[in-house]
């Protein structure tokens, strides 16, 4: 079974998207662990290690992605966890999405992305 | 003729009949300005006074935001509405570790009275009404605001505006809480009590359904949870020893203006009816002003699409029209680029012009409740009222809103509704133009860029302030605040003392954190 950590980093409390995605992945037969709100990159990477997940999904709507996501990627490299796929969802402008992908993010889902596209991507990536 | 056998429902899933007739509408409808105010709180509605056009704004630094406020006032906006950034909303200073990457991103960063002074530089607080979207640390930001008014020589009896200060909907929907529910409610009650004594023209709270709806609720859930939150605040203020008619007239509300036109208008009408009835029958209010539900509306941020963003101008116009036909007292219209970023000056100007077109060209402001008596609207109004009252009774039976929140009741109801809606969109049962139907390529937009140096600028200013101020006075006022928080006295005068000494937002909230602890929610998926 595919194991996914859905995480809300930063101070943003808007968790509608994270919760909808968590439920959709669970309905698609995946094991979903939801971290809850206001997680630091350290907390997220530790949870990913503890829970032995194959995928980390980060939901960020506050514009802080350029500060937060690279930190998560750096910690994954430090801990030799680069096999964990990181996907990011939220309000991520195209140029930032491209930069995050260059940093190793597997996919960025912007507003309007379908649940189906996210499920399909994860199945293919793992 | 072919029969259409699919069911038609509102965006919230309420079934709609093919036709409504006189049998669906009440025989007698009271007039506007008459209890229970279904048709509006004023007899002459917008003839007497148009709604206040109030665009929510704040970004980067207090300096930048102050420039935007001056621009908006020059463009004919009639009130200000402050957006604070996430660190401020969470009670952290700009130089706190949790603030990295967040300073100035979603609003203006305000860490001290100095920032508040800059924010309102050149803006006369005796003349302009100001709304502040701040919740958990609301009393601190309000104290800063009142201190700026003092500096301007404006008597507190003259300051007008609104503090959002609705902590219950934070636990339910927006999740920007700091302390546990009960001490948070005490802080809110402190502001209601302080306002009743000192600021007769200021609304100490704006009981908000907006965020509940944005989190994915139905219209009825928005209505019910918001009004039940209102009842909770009233209970706490009465418990404090205030008389209902001494504070209820200053309670204000804030609703979403979503896309389903008639459902939204019905929601506002039902809200007035439920509130008026609760004030009279549940609390024995005597003053009409206690019974009249006044509300601000904002068009639905969650309805804005990233795809084909110019369509958002149309969505916003329809939503704003619903708010006006529903009798709002003030209105924010979203900008076309807000699925991407905080709005550019160009986009926010179109949003303001949308309201001005409604007010001055459409003719809808010429008569009160122009849709009153519509069979469909009256039926929807009555059904919304009944469905919301069912929810309110359920929450009463749970012992009130705090036990309901602790049991996760409103949260799980909203999550279920938002998931159901998303599934309908996925299945193509709900059409979102440009997203799941009628797709085409988009033109790129010119977006507002937030200065990446905003955080550094704020940190430097704060470091300077910490060197300049009298550390002994800061320590003394913070200590007094802590002792006050441990007891039962009203914390507002103590917060004012700390703010005037230039204690920072983070320091004041830390004093509260020490006494009250912090809140972690148990998430139910």
CATH number reported for the structural domain that contains residue B146 in this entry: 3.20.20.240
B437, part of any domain: no
State pLDDT tens for residues B12-26.
Answer: 999 999 999 999 988
Q: Where are the alpha helices (DSSP H) in B306-407?
A: 311-325, 345-360, 375-397, 401-406
Quote the CA–CA distance of B82 and B54 in Å, as a whole number. Answer: 10
Structural tokens at position B368: 């009160």
* Burial tier of B345 (Cβ tally within 10 Å: 0-12, 13-18, 19+): middle
Q: What is the pLDDT at residue B487?
A: 97
Q: Pick the residue from chain A with its C-alpha nearest to B105.
A: A63
B177, part of any domain: yes
Query: Does A36 contact B523 at a Cβ distance shorter than 8 Å?
Result: yes
DSSP assigned state of B449: P
The pTM of the full predicted model, rounded to 2 decimals, is: 0.96
Sheet holding B161-163, edge to edge: B56-57, B80-83, B130-133, B161-163, B202-203
B525, part of any domain: no
Q: What is the pLDDT at residue B334?
A: 98
Shared domain check, B465 and B327: no
Shared domain check, B466 and B353: no
Quote the CA–CA distance of B472 and B393 in Å, as a whole number. Answer: 52
Query: Per-domain residue ranges for chain A?
Result: 3-125
Query: Candidates 1.10.260.30, 1.10.1740.10, 3.40.630.150, 3.40.50.280; correct CATH number of A3-125?
Result: 3.40.50.280
Averaged pLDDT for residues A23-37: 97
Among B175, B340, B432, whose Cβ lies nearest the Cβ of A15? B175
User: Nearest Cα to B162, choosing from B126, B180, B138, B186?
Assistant: B138
Q: What is the pLDDT at residue B523?
A: 80
* Burial tier of B110 (Cβ tally within 10 Å: 0-12, 13-18, 19+): buried
Structural tokens at position B223: 């209505």
Shared domain check, B280 and B406: yes
User: What integer best gives the mean pLDDT of chain B?
Assistant: 96
Asked if B267 contacts B310 with a C-beta cutoff of 8 angstroms, the reply is no
Shared domain check, B461 and B342: no
Among A13, A32, A64, whose Cβ lies nearest the Cβ of B176? A13
Region of B452 (left: φ > 0; alpha: ψ -120 to 50; beta: rest) is: alpha
What angle do helix axes A16-27 and A115-125 make, rounded to 10 degrees?
Answer: 60
Quote the CA–CA distance of B41 and B30 in Å, as a whole number. Answer: 11
B88, part of any domain: yes
How far apart are the CA of B378 and the nearest CA of chain A, in angstroms?
Answer: 32
Q: What is the pLDDT at residue B4?
A: 59
B24, part of any domain: no
> Percent of chain A beyond pLDDT 90?
98
Q: Pick the residue from chain B with its C-alpha nearest to A62.
A: B106
Quote the CA–CA distance of B153 and B137 in Å, as a whole number. Answer: 25
Q: What is the pLDDT at residue B440?
A: 94
Q: Which residues of A touch B520 (CB under 8 A)?
A: 36
User: Among the three residues B426, B444, B463, which one is the final residue of a domain in this structure?
Assistant: B426
Q: Which domain holds residue B384?
A: 30-426
Shared domain check, B79 and B160: yes
Shared domain check, B461 and B419: no
DSSP string, B61-128: -HHHHHHHHHHHHHTT--SEEEEBPHHHHTT--TTSGGGTTTTTTSSB---SHHHHHHHTTT--TTTS
Which residue is associated with the tokens 């006032």?
Answer: B73
Which residue is associated with the tokens 């409808």?
Answer: B29
Among A14, A19, A64, whose Cβ lies nearest the Cβ of B415? A19
* Chain A (73-112) residues lying within 8 Å, Cβ to Cβ, of chain B: 91, 93, 110-112
Query: Does A62 contact B105 at a Cβ distance shorter than 8 Å?
Result: yes
Shared domain check, B127 and B88: yes
Q: Which residues of chain B have pLDDT under 50?
A: none
Shared domain check, B218 and B127: yes
* Total number of domains constituting chain B: 2
Count of helices and strands (H, E) across chain A: 5, 5
B311, part of any domain: yes
Classify B253 as helix, strand or coil: strand
B350, part of any domain: yes
CB-based contact, B89 to chain A, within 8 Å: yes
User: Among the three residues B411, B426, B441, which one is the final residue of a domain in this structure?
Assistant: B426
Q: What is the pLDDT at residue B443?
A: 78
Q: What is the pLDDT at residue B468?
A: 97
Quote the CA–CA distance of B221 and B12 in Å, as a whole number. Answer: 9
State pLDDT tens for residues B385-412.
Answer: 999 999 999 999 999 999 999 999 999 9
Quote the CA–CA distance of B514 and B419 in Å, as a whole number. Answer: 38
Cis, bond preceding A43 (omega within 30 deg of 0)? no
State pLDDT tens for residues A46-57.
Answer: 999 999 999 999
Q: What is the pLDDT at residue B5?
A: 63
């Amino acid at each position: 079974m595919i194991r996914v950590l859905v995480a809300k980093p930063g101070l943003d409390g808007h968790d509608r998207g994270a919760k909808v995605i968590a439920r959709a992945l669970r309905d698609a037969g995946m094991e979903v662990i939801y971290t809850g709100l206001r997680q630091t990159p350290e907390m997220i990477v530790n949870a990913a290690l503890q829970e032995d997940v194959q995928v980390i999904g980060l939901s960020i709507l506050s514009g802080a992605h350029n500060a937060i996501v690279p930190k998560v990627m750096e910690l994954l490299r430090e801990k030799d966890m680069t096999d964990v796929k990181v996907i990011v969802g939220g309000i991520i402008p195209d140029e930032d999405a491209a930069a995050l992908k260059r940093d190793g993010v597997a996919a960025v889902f912007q507003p309007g992305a379908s649940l189906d596209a996210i499920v399909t991507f994860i199945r293919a990536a793992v | 003729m072919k029969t259409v056998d699919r069911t038609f429902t509102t965006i919230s899933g309420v079934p709609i009949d093919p036709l409504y007739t006189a049998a669906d509408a009440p025989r007698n409808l009271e007039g506007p300005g008459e209890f229970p105010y279904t048709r509006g709180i004023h007899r002459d509605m917008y003839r007497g006074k148009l709604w206040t056009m109030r665009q929510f704004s704040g970004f980067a630094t207090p300096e930048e935001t102050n420039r935007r406020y001056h621009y908006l006032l020059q463009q004919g906006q009639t009130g200000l509405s402050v957006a604070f950034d996430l660190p401020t909303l969470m009670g952290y200073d700009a130089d706190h570790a949790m603030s990295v990457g967040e300073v100035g991103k979603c609003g203006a960063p305000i860490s001290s009275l100095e920032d508040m002074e800059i924010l309102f530089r050149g803006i006369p607080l005796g003349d302009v009404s100001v709304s502040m979207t701040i919740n958990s640390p609301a009393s601190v930001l309000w104290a800063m605001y009142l201190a700026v008014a003092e500096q301007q020589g404006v008597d507190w009896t003259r300051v007008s505006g609104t503090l959002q200060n609705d902590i219950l909907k934070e636990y339910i929907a927006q999740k920007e809480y700091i302390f546990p529910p009960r001490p948070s409610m005490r802080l809110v009650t402190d502001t209601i009590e302080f306002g009743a004594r000192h600021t007769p023209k200021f609304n100490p709270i704006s009981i908000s359904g907006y965020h509940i709806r944005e989190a994915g609720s139905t219209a009825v859930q928005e209505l019910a949870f918001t009004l039940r939150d209102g009842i909770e605040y009233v209970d706490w203020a009465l418990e404090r020893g205030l008389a209902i008619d001494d504070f209820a007239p200053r309670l204000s509300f804030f609703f979403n203006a979503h896309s389903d036109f008639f459902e939204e208008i019905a929601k506002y009408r039902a809200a007035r009816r439920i509130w008026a009835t609760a004030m009279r029958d549940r609390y024995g209010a005597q003053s009409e002003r206690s019974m009249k539900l006044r509300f601000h509306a904002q068009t639905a941020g969650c309805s804005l699409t990233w795809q084909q963003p110019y369509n958002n101008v149309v969505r916003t116009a329809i939503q704003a029209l619903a708010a006006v036909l529903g009798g709002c007292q003030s209105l924010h219209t979203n900008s076309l680029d807000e699925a991407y970023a905080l709005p550019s000056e160009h986009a926010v100007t179109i949003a303001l012009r949308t309201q001005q077109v409604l007010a001055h060209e459409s003719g809808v402001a010429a008569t009160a409740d122009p849709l009153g008596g519509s069979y469909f609207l009256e039926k929807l109004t009555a059904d919304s009222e009944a469905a919301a009252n069912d929810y309110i009774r359920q929450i009463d039976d749970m012992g009130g809103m705090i036990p309901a929140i602790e049991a996760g009741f409103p949260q799980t109801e909203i999550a279920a509704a938002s998931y159901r809606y998303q599934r309908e969109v996925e299945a193509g049962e709900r059409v979102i133009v440009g997203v799941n139907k009628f797709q085409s390529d988009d033109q790129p937009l010119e977006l507002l860029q937030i200065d990446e140096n905003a955080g550094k600028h704020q940190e430097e200013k704060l470091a300077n302030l910490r060197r300049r101020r009298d550390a002994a006075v800061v320590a003394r006022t913070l200590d007094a605040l802590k002792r006050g928080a441990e007891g039962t006295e009203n914390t507002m005068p103590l917060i004012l003392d700390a703010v005037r000494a230039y204690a920072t937002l983070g320091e004041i909230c830390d004093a509260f954190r020490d006494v009250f602890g912090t809140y972690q929610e148990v998430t139910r998926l």
